[in-house]
Structure 1
Amino acid sequence: MAPTGTARNVPPPPPYCPPPNDALDLLYVDSWLLMANKPAGLLSVPGRGEDKQDCLVLRVQAEYPDALIVHRLDLPTSGLLLLARGKEMQRRLSHEFAQRRVDKRYLAVVMGRPLSVTGTIDLPLAVDWPNHPRQKVDRRAGKPALTRYRFLSHSASDDTSRLALSPETGRTHQLRVHLQALGHPIVGDRLYADATTAAKSDRLLLHAEELSFTHPATDRRMRFCSPPPF
Structure 2
Amino acid sequence: MRRYCPPTEPFLSVIYSDEALLVLDKPCGLLSVPGRDPAHRDSLATRAQERFSEALIVHRLDMDTSGLLVMARSPEVHRKLSAQFQSRQVEKAYVAKVWGELTEDCGEIDLPLICDWPNRPRQKVDFEVGKPSLTRWQKISTAAGCSLVRLKPVTGRSHQLRVHMEAIGHPILGDPFYAHRRALVAAPRLLLHATELAFTHPETGERLRFTSTPDPEWFQ
- Deviation of 1:32 after TM superposition, in Å, equals 0.5
Q: Distance in 2 between matches of 1:113 and 1:23?
A: 36
Matched, 1:177 2:163: yes
Q: Structure 1 stretches (4+) deviating beyond 3 angstroms? A: none
Q: Deviations over 1:131-163 (max 9, x none)?
A: 1111000011001110000000001x3x01000
TM-score, normalised via structure 1 length: 0.92
Matched, 1:211 2:194: no
Query: What is the DSSP-based 3-state SS (H/G/I as helix, E as strand, rest coil) of the residue aligned with 2:187?
Result: coil
Unaligned runs of 5+ in 2: none
- Deviation of 1:23 after TM superposition, in Å, equals 4.1
TM-score, normalised via structure 2 length: 0.96
Q: Deviations over 1:10-52 (max 9, x none)?
A: xxx3111111164421010001001000000000000121100
Unaligned runs of 5+ in 1: 1-12
Indicate the percent of aligned positions where both proteins have the same amino acid. Answer: 52
1:103 to 81, 84, 91: 91
Query: What is the DSSP-based 3-state SS (H/G/I as helix, E as strand, rest coil) of the residue aligned with 2:60?
Result: coil
| Aligned residue number for residue 111 of structure 2 | 123
- Deviation of 1:92 after TM superposition, in Å, equals 0.5
Query: What is the DSSP-based 3-state SS (H/G/I as helix, E as strand, rest coil) of the residue aligned with 1:144?
Result: coil
Letter in 2 for 1:188: G
Q: Distance in 2 between matches of 1:35 and 1:42?
A: 16
Which residues in structure 2 correspond to 1:1-230 (within 5 Å)?
Answer: 13-20=1-8, 22-155=10-143, 157=144, 159-229=145-215, 230=218
Contact 2:11 2:47 in 1 (8 A): no
- Deviation of 1:114 after TM superposition, in Å, equals 2.0
Query: What is the DSSP-based 3-state SS (H/G/I as helix, E as strand, rest coil) of the residue aligned with 1:88?
Result: helix
Q: Deviations over 1:72-105 (max 9, x none)?
A: 0000000001101111110100000000000000
Contact 2:113 2:125 in 1 (8 A): yes
Letter in 2 for 1:209: T
- Deviation of 1:209 after TM superposition, in Å, equals 0.2
- Deviation of 1:226 after TM superposition, in Å, equals 0.2
